[in-house]
């Protein structure tokens, strides 16, 4: 992990309220899928913004971000050539065992972005089915990447793109047809993860979820990001996660 000096190469809108920023780092960076960066947007914004690393190759890294508050509003206005500090790679990331051949990706909202990095890392060697839920047609993004999966099912809350359902319902429908994965990797809003947890526990399918918590330092020091574990202990989402076995965490 290092605090890289990162120069914006491009920063463009990819869907309604969603942007992709590509940085050139001052040095090469080794990243595994599901890890994130803590981006400093500078000025009066002392706290950095944690964003999943969507793509990484050598010195070039891409983050996709939804405009939410002041930090992401500010990032959106920054053009090519702007230099920022990005602390990365952070967190444990997703790991798939050699004997887990069939992967299901289940994602919604900003949880779509870390799942793109899984496809890039495991897409060649594994059979991947991606079940991705968007709010509506305007929010659809990453399709070019997800279409590289063995199977891609994109759905929306209002039926304006794909079927009208959420990502967990899309996964459940395929499961019923016999498309059973060896492992599920997921990221998305907590209600979505809760519904998924109930389903995979009932079906006995191993599942890992990437959690989103408000963060401060991003490196395990401030304890802003703690979550409750099922064994009664606490864990730091930034350092012990963000990826946890679904049976380990209280959702
Ligand atoms: C591990 C991880 C990966 C993430 N990956 C992505 C991603 O790929 N794309 C994306 O759009 N968003 C992602 N998020 C959420 C993203 O961090 C917040 O949307 C962002 O920090 C909001 O910043 P803001 O200044 O615009 O909002 P504000 O609400 O103004 O932020 C105020 C403060 O709260 C923190 N904060 C607010 N919301 C969140 C949140 N949901 N999670 C963590 N901190 C928050 C901010 O970092 C900032 O310090 C991720 C969060 C985590 C923890
Ligand atoms: S953000 Fe500081 S310990 Fe996790």
Structure tokens at 34: 């599901």
Name the pairing type of β-strands 207-210 and 243-245. Answer: antiparallel
Please state, in angstroms and rounded to a whole number, the distance separating the CA atoms of residues 17 and 28.
30
CA dihedral (215, 219, 223, 228) positive or negative: positive
pLDDT of residue 45: 76
Q: What are the tens digits of pLDDT across the range 162-201? A: 999 999 999 999 999 999 999 999 999 999 999 999 999 9
Q: Which fold has domain 102-210?
A: Rossmann fold (3.40.50)
Q: What are the tens digits of pLDDT across the range 83-93? A: 999 999 999 99
Structure tokens at 78: 């920054």
For residue 154, the SS3 value is strand
pLDDT of residue 148: 93
CA of 214 relative to ligand 1 center, distance in Å? 7
Q: Which fold has domain 2-90?
A: Elongation Factor Tu (Ef-tu); domain 3 (2.40.30)
Q: Any idea which residue has 């950095």 for tokens?
A: 48
CA of 207 relative to ligand 1 center, distance in Å? 24
Summarize the chain as % helix, strand, coil (round to 5).
20, 35, 40
Residue 149 pLDDT > 90: yes
Please state, in angstroms and rounded to a whole number, the distance separating the CA atoms of residues 239 and 101.
27
pLDDT of residue 46: 79
Structure tokens at 59: 């010195």
* Residue 123: band (very low, low, confident or very high) from pLDDT cuts 50, 70, 90: very high
Q: What are the tens digits of pLDDT across the range 52-111? A: 999 999 899 999 999 999 999 999 999 999 999 999 999 999 999 999 999 999 999 999
Is 102-210 in the same CATH topology as 2-90?
A: no
pLDDT of residue 43: 76
% residues pLDDT > 70 (the chain):
100
| Local structure of residue 64 (DSSP, 8 states) | E
Query: Any idea where the domains of the chain sit in the sequence?
Result: 2-90, 102-210
Please state, in angstroms and rounded to a whole number, the distance separating the CA atoms of residues 83 and 3.
12
Question: Of 42-56, 152-166, 223-237, which gets the smallest average pLDDT?
Answer: 42-56
Pocket test for ligand 1, best of 41, 67, 69 (most atoms within 8 A of CB): 69
- With a 6 Å cutoff on the Cβ, whether 49 touches ligand 1 is yes
- Please state whether the predicted TM-score (pTM) of the whole model is above 0.75: yes
CA of 163 relative to ligand 1 center, distance in Å? 29
pLDDT of residue 250: 95
Do 114 and 243 meet the contact criterion of CB atoms below 8 Å apart?
no
Q: Where are the alpha helices (DSSP H) in 55-189?
A: 70-76, 112-122, 143-146, 167-176
Q: What H or E segment, with its residue span, contains residue 57? A: strand 55-57
Closest to 218 (Cα-Cα) out of 91, 53, 94? 91
Please state, in angstroms and rounded to a whole number, the distance separating the CA atoms of residues 19 and 91.
23
Which of ligand 2's atoms lies nearest the C-alpha of 222?
A: 2
**Rg of the chain over all Cα atoms, to the nearest angstrom:** 17
* Residue 212: band (very low, low, confident or very high) from pLDDT cuts 50, 70, 90: very high
**Mean pLDDT of all residues belonging to the chain:** 96
């Amino acid at each position: 992990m290092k605090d890289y000096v990162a120069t914006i190469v491009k920063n463009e809108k990819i869907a309604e309220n969603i942007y992709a920023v590509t940085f050139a780092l001052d040095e090469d960076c080794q990243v595994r899928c599901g890890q994130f960066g803590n981006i400093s947007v500078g000025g009066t914004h002392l706290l950095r913004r944690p964003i999943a690393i969507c793509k990484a190759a050598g010195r070039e890294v891409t983050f996709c971000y939804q405009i939410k508050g002041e930090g992401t509003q500010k990032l959106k206005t920054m053009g090519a050539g702007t230099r920022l500090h990005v602390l990365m790679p952070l967190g444990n990331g997703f790991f798939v065992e050699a004997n887990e051949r069939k992967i299901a990706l289940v994602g919604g909202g900003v949880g779509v972005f870390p799942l793109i990095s899984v496809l890039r890392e495991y897409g060649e060697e594994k059979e991947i089915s991606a079940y991705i839920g968007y709010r509506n047609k305007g929010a659809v993004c990453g399709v070019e990447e997800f279409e590289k999966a063995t199977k891609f099912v994109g759905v929306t809350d209002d039926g304006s793109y794909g079927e009208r359902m959420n990502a967990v319902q899309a996964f459940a429908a395929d499961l019923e047809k016999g498309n059973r994965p060896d492992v599920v990797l997921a990221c998305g809003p907590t209600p979505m993860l809760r519904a998924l947890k109930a389903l995979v526990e009932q079906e006995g399918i191993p599942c890992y979820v990437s959690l989103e918590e408000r963060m401060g330092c991003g490196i395990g020091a401030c304890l802003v990001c703690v979550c409750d574990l099922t064994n009664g202990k606490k864990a730091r989402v930034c350092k012990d996660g963000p990826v946890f076995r679904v049976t380990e965490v209280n959702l």
